[in-house]
Copies of this chain bind each other. A is one copy, B any other.
């Protein structure tokens, strides 16, 4: 299979496939007069990369557990550890998004003429100060 076909089947650009190879996620395939020729199971591998990427893993993380054969730890436990950590991130993201949603709903439903009025009316000024305080604390 040539790179264009693989890319089409995976829903990517060919440049993305080459990028994965360069980043060490995809083994360099055989070449036929300079051009890459992929075995058919390469598609599964690429789809797996896309899948993990869609799940929020960085390419670095994906590389870690796809090429982890040289490490001592078995692949399964390491992968589960990664997944568990990502699960925490996802949960935090959900919690944050829910808070944002509440705030946005309040803001879209209020009858103020300006955002500044809204913020005052909804008592968000304290929120603002709190956020700033936390940011200051986080920096020190």
Q: A: which residues have CB within 8 A of B?
A: 8-12, 44, 47-48, 50-52, 54-56, 65-66, 74-76, 79-80, 83-84, 86-87, 90-91, 93-94, 97-98, 100-101, 103-105, 107-108, 112-116, 118-119, 124, 127-129, 131-136, 138-139
Given A97-B94, A103-B55, A107-B83, is A119 in contact with B48 using a C-beta cutoff of 8 Å? Answer: yes
Tell me the smallest distance from the CB of A63 to a CB of chain B, in Å.
13
B-chain residues with CB within 8 Å of residue A132 when the two chains form the complex: 9-11, 47, 50
Q: Main secondary structure on chain A at its contact with chain B?
A: helix
* B104 near A83: Cβ-Cβ < 8 Å: yes
* A75 near B11: Cβ-Cβ < 8 Å: no
